[in-house]
């Protein structure tokens, strides 16, 4: 009897030791980034941020005593390659979770793989389709377009601006923005007077703007990424249009002000993530400290300015490490941990996930800013 | 619903608004069209001297802009010095392209040459991306950004530069081809290469010269348009295509017809975007091109089998 008891105890102890040995082991996190190719401006800062965070976490003794191991592949922005590499991460490298891919197209292609293998993935793609409807294992960190649209419309309502002219780019980003703008404007009682578009490579939009000028809307909303919006900003100045011009969060970088010129960009209003304006935030803002640290750490490591795009990878890493801290390191534990993230402060905003919401950001992710003397200033 | 209100506003404001609107479309179209014209003339000069459609033409437009930026920002040259340096460097690139890619070709069939120029354009674009990165860059305007008002429409001083420089380039071209020995020699090559070489014209030198002239013209177009449209490693493709359209409309002539072709294309685009739909802007221009190719393959102004230079 006694012997048996001793046996059991020693057996348990061994098991416990094994358990802690497992716990003190390593957790593999796969990273899929478009480091090269057309989306490299999105993927490269993401990869750098991920590497930086893994290094910092390991220097601080890992998470719950567990070391992290990053396995990173470059997808080149190619959906087919992304699927192959995701399969490789899961089957060969046996990762517990995948951070990435970078773009919406790649993410949509990788989703079936992650779902089938029950490996959680956190996409850095912006497309609404990635998490709507919510899938078991799929999360994403960039805020949905409709959050930015709502932010702009909310601001306009406060200014009693009721009629809108749209000027959107004919690519995925512009088409999604246009769709959301039309939908939400209708819901919120705005009238769309003009619905103009331009090509991503167009170099002169005075024709569209002349038409808009003759219609006299209360506001113009332009949805696109550089360089189109910069051309539009200059064209508006040239035509002497005084109507307030709103831009999307797609141009929330200093690059846009530089291209359009500070004089032409004066008075432009747009929603931006808080990273762009971290030094204007009040001390009491829950994100202020984290953003400042991120910018400093990133600059020290790479001598480059941290960007919103790197921030998406930061968010994903934050969600993963939080999940490991609270739950554990198996894929299912991490998945559940991410889904239960609540008021998790990060770069893009404050994440509160639920089984129905696998993005977890709300209107507080954006601030409305006005460009004043070539700088951002909070718009009131 | 929105449209209804827009229309009623138009009626209220009456004809003056309509007129200034159309004038604006016209002016915007003319200034963009002038760029297409310059690029188009570059296409036709090479075509006439060699029979090649040089699809790398757009890349020289990009080189003009990017090199100006390079001399301005990297070497800190003033604008008046950076521009000639950029033109010279682009011209050198054009000559190099002819020497290294076109001339060594053993069997210069048209299809080989066309593929070669496409390859060359990809190479030049790739090199530009590696050297200067993928970012879009802005170049300062030549004389300020203060809009000028003309009968209710507004243009920028840069638009006047574009129209002026295009006019100058076309006149110089005209003078060169009609009044100088080498210009006449180049025309002779266009009529009949063998006959030209029989009377002692160095045809290969003329081919090289045609590449030099057209790359210089492309660079000029790229430089004068860059302050308005900005410049990146990949701006050459679309501009090149539009320039090619201009040359087709002009029946591959290196004179006034191609210039008219460019202007017509620019105005059509601008009017199409303003009066019909901005979504079909490019489609309108390309439909005109297709119609023209079907109905008048010799160009809008040409007679069948007419002279080309």
Hey, what long-range contacts does A331-339 have (CB within 8 A, 24 or more apart)? A331/A96, A331/A97, A331/A118, A331/A119, A331/A120, A332/A118, A334/A96, A334/A97, A334/A120, A335/A97, A335/A118, A335/A120, A335/A136, A335/A137, A338/A120, A338/A122, A338/A139, A339/A139
A349 is a domain residue: no
Looking at the domain assignment, is residue B285 inside a domain?
Answer: no
Cβ-based contacts of A211 with chain B (< 8 Å): 21, 273-274, 278
Helix (H, G, I), strand (E, B) or coil at A284: coil
Per-residue confidence (pLDDT) for residue B152, from 0 to 100: 83
Residue B7 has a pLDDT of 44
First to last CA, chain B: 54
Confirm or reject contact between B284 and chain A (CB < 8 A). no
Among A residues 7-66, those touching chain B with beta carbons less than 8 Å apart: 40-41
State whether A53 and A160 are in the same domain.
no
**The pLDDT of residue A164 is above 90:** yes
pLDDT at B304: 55
Whole-number Å distance between alpha carbons of B132 and B124? 12
Find the distance separating the first CA and the last CA of chain A, reported in whole Å: 77
The pLDDT tens digits for A310-345 are 999 999 999 999 999 998 889 999 999 999 999 999
Say which of B155, B235, B278 has its CB closest to residue A198. Answer: B278
Chain A closest CA to B187's CA: distance in Å?
35
- Average pLDDT of the segment spanning A119-132: 91
Whether B40 is covered by a domain: the verdict is yes
Q: What's the gap in Å between the CA of A165 and the closest CA on chain B?
A: 10
Binary contact (A214, B13; C-beta < 8 A): yes
My answer on whether A168 and A197 are in the same domain is yes
Q: Please list, in sequence order, all residues whose beta carbon lies within 8 angstroms of the beta carbon of residue B16, skipping any fewer than 6 positions away.
A: B152
CA distance A260 to chain B (A): 8
User: What's the confidence (pLDDT) of residue A154?
Assistant: 95
Other CB atoms within a 10 A radius of the CB of residue A2 amount to 6
List the single residue in A40, A215, A259 with the smallest CB-CB distance to B6: A215
pLDDT at B224: 94
* Cα separation, B223 vs B87, whole angstroms: 8
Write down the pLDDT at residue A21: 39
Higher pLDDT: A352 or B304? It is A352
Tell me whether residue A216 is in a domain: yes
Task: Report the chain B residue with the minimal C-alpha distance to residue A162.
Answer: B2
Q: Give the model's confidence band at B279: pLDDT under 50 very low, under 70 low, under 90 confident, else very high.
A: confident
Stretch A188-193: mean pLDDT: 95
Q: What is the mean pLDDT of chain A?
A: 90
Question: Which residues of chain A have a CB within 8 Å of the CB of B269?
Answer: 207
Q: What is the mean pLDDT of residues A24-46?
A: 88
pLDDT of residue B9: 44
Q: Which chain A positions have a beta carbon within 8 Å of B139's beta carbon? A: none
What's the pLDDT tens digit per position in B103-118?
888 777 878 888 999 9
Tally of residues, chain A: 380
> CA-based angle A136:A139:A143, to the nearest 5?
140
Q: Any chain B CB within 8 A of the CB of A216?
A: yes
At A59 the pLDDT is 94
Asked if residue B19 is part of any domain, the answer here is no
Q: Does the structure show a pLDDT above 80 at B15?
A: no
**Confidence tier at B17 by pLDDT (50, 70, 90):** low
Q: Is residue B275 part of a domain?
A: no
Distance CA(A143)–CA(A123), nearest Å, equals: 11
Cα A144 to Cα A146: distance, rounded to the nearest angstrom: 5
At residue A250, the pLDDT reads: 86
How many angstroms separate the CA of residue A54 from the nearest CA in chain B?
A: 28
Dist. CA A57–CA A51, nearest whole Å: 10
Q: What is the mean pLDDT of residues A53-65?
A: 93
Per-residue model confidence as pLDDT tens digits over A208-230:
999 999 999 999 999 998 889 99
Task: For the beta carbon of residue A343, count every other beta carbon within 10 angstroms.
Answer: 9
Q: Which residue has the tokens 């490991």?
A: A324
Yes or no: say if A273 and A253 are a contact pair by the CB < 8 Å rule.
no
| Averaged pLDDT, A13-21 | 44
Cis peptide leading into A162, omega within 30 of 0?
A: no
Query: Torsions phi, psi of B154, nearest 5?
Result: -120, 145
Residue B89 within any structural domain of the chain: yes
Q: In this complex, do A207 and B2 lie within 8 Å of one another by their Cβ atoms?
A: no
Residues A98 and A205 in one domain: no
What CA dihedral angle connects B173, B178, B183 and B188, to 10 degrees?
130
Would you state the pLDDT for residue A237?
A: 92
The token pair at A78 is: 């190619």
Please report whether residue B247 resides in a domain: no
- Cβ distance A203 to B17 less than 8 Å, yes or no, reads no
A170/B155 CB distance under 8 A: no
Q: What distance in Å separates residue A46's CA from the closest CA in chain B? A: 17
State whether residue B152 is helix, strand or coil: coil
- Contact assessment for residue A106 and residue A300, using Cβ atoms and an 8 Å cutoff: no
Distance of alpha carbon B112 from alpha carbon B150, whole angstroms: 49
The answer to whether the Cβ–Cβ distance between A226 and B225 falls below 8 Å is no
Residues A150 and A129 occupy one common structural domain: no
Strand partners, A32: A73
A262 touches chain B (CB under 8 A): no
At residue B289, the pLDDT reads 76
B contact test, residue of A42, A191, A192, A211 with most B CBs within 10 A:
A211
Q: In this complex, is the C-beta atom of A186 within 8 Å of any C-beta atom belonging to chain B?
A: no
A91: its two tokens: 């089957």
B16 and chain A in contact, CB less than 8 A: no
Backbone angles phi, psi at A286, to 5 degrees: -60, -25
Look at residue B6 in the predicted model and tell me its pLDDT.
Answer: 43
Task: Give yes or no: residues A157 and A302 share one domain.
Answer: no
Phi then psi for A257, rounded to 5 degrees? -65, -40
Burial B95-126 (b: 16+ CB within 10 A, else e): bebbeebbeeeeeeeeeebeebbeebbeebbe
Q: Is A234 on the interface with B (CB under 8 A)?
A: yes
Name the β-bridge partners of A28. Answer: A69
What residues of chain A, 306 to 345, have a C-beta less than 8 Å from chain B? none
How many residues make up chain B in this entry? 309
Contact between chains at B273 and A237 (C-beta distance less than 8 A): no
Preceding amide of A101 cis, omega within 30 = yes
Same domain, A243 and A153: yes
Buried b (16+ CB within 10 A) or exposed e, A158-176: eeebebbbbbbbbeebbeb
Count of domains for chain A: 2
What pLDDT does B213 receive? Answer: 93
> Is the domain of A127 the same as that of A184?
no
Name every chain B residue with its beta carbon within 8 A of the beta carbon of A226.
136
Cα–Cα dist B43/B41, whole Å: 5
CB within 8 Å: B21 and A234: no
Whether A210 and B17 lie within 8 Å, measured CB to CB: no
Question: Distance (Å, rounded) from C-alpha B168 to C-alpha B62?
Answer: 21
| Inter-CA distances, A94 with A88, A117, A172, A330, Å | 8, 11, 33, 11
Q: Check the CA dihedral A343-A344-A346-A351 and report its sign.
A: negative
> What is the domain extent for residue B45?
34-142+153-235
**Six token digits for residue B179:** 């009044």
The pLDDT of residue A10: 52
Do A272 and A370 belong together in one domain? yes
Predicted confidence band of residue B18 (pLDDT cuts 50, 70, 90): confident
Cβ pair A369, A269 in contact under 8 A: yes
Asked if the Cβ–Cβ distance from B154 to A238 is below 8 Å, we say yes
Please report whether residue A80 resides in a domain.
Answer: yes
- pLDDT over 70, % of chain B: 92
Q: H or E element: which one contains A198?
A: strand A191-198
Cβ-defined contact of A196 to B147 (cutoff 8 Å):
no
Task: Please check whether residue B34 is in contact with residue B163, taking contact to mean a CB–CB distance below 8 angstroms.
Answer: yes
Instruction: Name the strand (E) or helix (H) holding A98.
Output: strand A97-99
* Whether residue A192 is found in the same domain as residue A271: yes
Which chain B residues have a beta carbon less than 8 Å from that of A40?
Answer: 134
With a threshold of 0.95, tell me whether the complex ipTM lies above it: no
Q: Which residues of B touch A196 (CB under 8 A)?
A: 278
| Of the listed ranges A72-76, A152-156, A254-258, A261-265, the one predicted with least confidence | A254-258
| Residues β-bridged to residue A246 | A221, A269
Give the strands of the sheet with A138-140, arranged side by side: A67-74, A26-33, A97-99, A121-123, A138-140
A152/A225 same-domain check: yes
Using a CB-CB cut-off of 8 Å, the residues of chain A touching B31 are 204
Instruction: Tell me which chain B residues have a C-beta less than 8 angstroms from the C-beta of A165.
Output: none
Residues A182 and A257 in one domain: yes
Taking the Cβ of residue B224 and every Cβ of chain A, the question of whether any pair is shorter than 8 Å is answered with no
How far A171 CA sits from the closest chain B CA (Å)?
12
- CA atoms within a 13 Å half-sphere pointing along the CA-CB vector of B11: 6
Share of chain A above pLDDT 70, in %: 94
- Domain with A171 in it: 146-278+366-378
Structure tokens at A54: 């893994």
Q: A206–B134: do the CB atoms touch at under 8 Å?
A: no
Please tell me the total count of domains within chain B: 1
Angle between helices B236-249 and B2-50 (to 10 degrees): 80
Distance, in Å, from the CA atom of A227 to the CA atom of B297, rounded to the nearest integer, reads 36
What CATH number should be reported for the domain holding residue A304?
3.40.50.2300
- Inter-chain residue contact A193 with B6, CB threshold 8 Å: yes
B278 → closest Cβ in A40, A197, A231:
A197
Please indicate, yes or no, if residue A21 is contained in any of the structural domains.
Answer: no
Distance CA B143, CA B161 (A): 9
Asked if residue B213 belongs to a domain, the reply is: yes
**Residue B275's closest chain A neighbor by CA?**
A211
Q: How far is B195 from chain A (nearest CA, A)?
A: 44
Dmax of chain B from CA atoms?
A: 72
Percent of chain A with pLDDT over 90: 69
- pLDDT band of A282, cuts 50, 70, 90: confident
**CB burial readout B181-207, b (16+ within 10 A) else e:** eebebbbbbbeebeebeeeebebeebb
Other beta carbons less than 10 A from residue A284's beta carbon: 6
Whether B10 is in a domain gets the answer no
The answer to whether residue B23 neighbours chain A at the CB level (below 8 Å) is no
The residue among B12 and B203 whose pLDDT is bigger is: B203
Regarding whether A170 and A75 lie in a shared domain, the answer is no
pLDDT in tens, A87-97: 999 999 999 99
pLDDT per position as a tens digit, B37-46: 999 999 998 8
Q: What whole-number distance in Å separates Cα of residue A326 and Cα of residue A330?
A: 12
CA A173 centroid distance within chain: 14
Task: With a cut of 90, say whether residue B127 has pLDDT above it.
Answer: yes
Cβ-Cβ contacts under 8 Å for A218 (sequence gap 6 or more): A156, A160, A161, A162, A163, A164, A243, A244
């Amino acid at each position: 009897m006694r012997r048996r008891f001793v046996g059991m105890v020693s057996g348990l102890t061994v098991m416990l030791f094994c358990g802690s040995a497992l716990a003190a082991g390593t957790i593999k996190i796969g990273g899929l980034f478009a480091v090269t190719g057309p989306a490299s401006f999105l993927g490269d800062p993401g990869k750098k941020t991920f590497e930086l965070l893994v290094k910092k976490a390991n220097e601080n003794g890992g998470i719950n005593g567990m070391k992290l191991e990053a396995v990173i592949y470059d997808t080149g922005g190619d959906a087919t390659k992304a699927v192959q590499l995701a399969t490789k991460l899961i089957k060969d490298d046996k990762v517990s979770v995948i951070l990435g891919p970078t773009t919406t197209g790649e993410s949509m292609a990788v989703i079936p793989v992650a779902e089938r293998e029950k490996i959680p993935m956190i996409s850095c793609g912006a497309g609404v389709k990635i998490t709507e409807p919510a899938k078991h294992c799929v999360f994403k960190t960039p805020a949905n377009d409709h959050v930015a649209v709502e932010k702009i419309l909310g601001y306009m309502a406060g200014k009693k601006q009721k009629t809108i002219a749209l000027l959107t780019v004919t690519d995925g980003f512009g088409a999604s923005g246009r769709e959301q703008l039309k939908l939400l404007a209708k819901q919120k009682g705005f009238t769309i007077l003009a619905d103009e578009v331009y090509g991503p490579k167009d170099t002169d939009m005075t024709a569209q703007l002349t038409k808009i000028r003759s219609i006299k809307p209360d506001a113009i909303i332009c949805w696109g990424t550089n360089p189109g919006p910069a051309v539009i900003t200059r064209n508006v100045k040239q035509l002497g249009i005084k109507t307030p011009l709103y831009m999307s969060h797609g141009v929330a970088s200093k690059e846009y002000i530089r291209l359009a010129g500070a004089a032409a960009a004066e008075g432009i209003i747009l929603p931006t993530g808080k990273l762009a304006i971290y030094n204007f935030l009040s001390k009491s803002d829950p994100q202020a400290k984290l953003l400042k640290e991120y910018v400093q750490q990133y600059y020290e490591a790479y001598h480059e300015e941290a960007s919103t795009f790197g921030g998406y990878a930061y968010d994903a890493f934050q969600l993963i490490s939080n999940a490991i801290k609270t739950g554990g390191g198996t894929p299912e534990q991490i998945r559940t941990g991410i889904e239960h993230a609540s008021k998790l402060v990060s770069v893009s905003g404050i994440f509160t996930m639920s089984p129905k919401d696998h993005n977890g950001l709300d209107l507080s992710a954006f601030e409305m800013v006005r460009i004043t003397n070539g700088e951002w200033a909070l718009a009131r | 619903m929105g449209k209804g209100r827009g229309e009623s506003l138009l009626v209220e404001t009456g004809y003056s608004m309509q007129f200034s609107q159309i004038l604006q479309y016209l002016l915007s179209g003319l200034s963009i069209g002038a760029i297409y014209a310059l690029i188009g003339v570059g296409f036709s000069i090479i075509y006439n001297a060699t029979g090649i459609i040089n699809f790398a033409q757009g890349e020289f437009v990009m080189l003009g802009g990017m090199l100006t930026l390079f001399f301005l920002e990297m070497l800190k040259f003033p604008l008046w010095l950076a521009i000639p340096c950029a033109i010279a460097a682009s011209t050198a690139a054009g000559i190099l392209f002819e020497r290294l890619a076109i001339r060594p070709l053993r069997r210069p069939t048209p299809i080989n040459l066309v593929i070669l120029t496409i390859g060359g354009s990809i190479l030049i674009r790739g090199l530009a991306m590696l050297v200067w990165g993928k970012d879009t860059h802005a170049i300062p305007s030549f004389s300020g950004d203060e809009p000028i008002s003309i009968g209710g429409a507004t243009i920028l001083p840069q638009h006047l530069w574009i129209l002026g420089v295009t006019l100058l380039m076309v006149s110089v071209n005209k003078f060169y081809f009609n009044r100088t020995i080498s210009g006449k020699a180049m025309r002779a090559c266009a009529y009949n290469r063998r006959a030209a070489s029989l009377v002692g014209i160095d045809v290969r030198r003329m081919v090289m010269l045609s590449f030099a002239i057209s790359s210089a013209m492309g660079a000029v177009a790229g430089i004068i348009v860059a302050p308005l449209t900005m410049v990146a490693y990949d701006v050459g493709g679309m501009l090149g295509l539009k320039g090619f359209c201009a040359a087709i409309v002009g029946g591959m002539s290196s004179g006034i017809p191609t210039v008219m072709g460019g202007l017509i294309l620019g105005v059509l685009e601008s009017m199409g975007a303003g009066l019909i739909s901005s979504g079909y802007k490019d489609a309108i221009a390309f439909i005109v091109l297709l119609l023209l190719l079907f109905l008048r393959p010799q160009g809008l102004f040409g007679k069948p089998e007419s002279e080309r230079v």
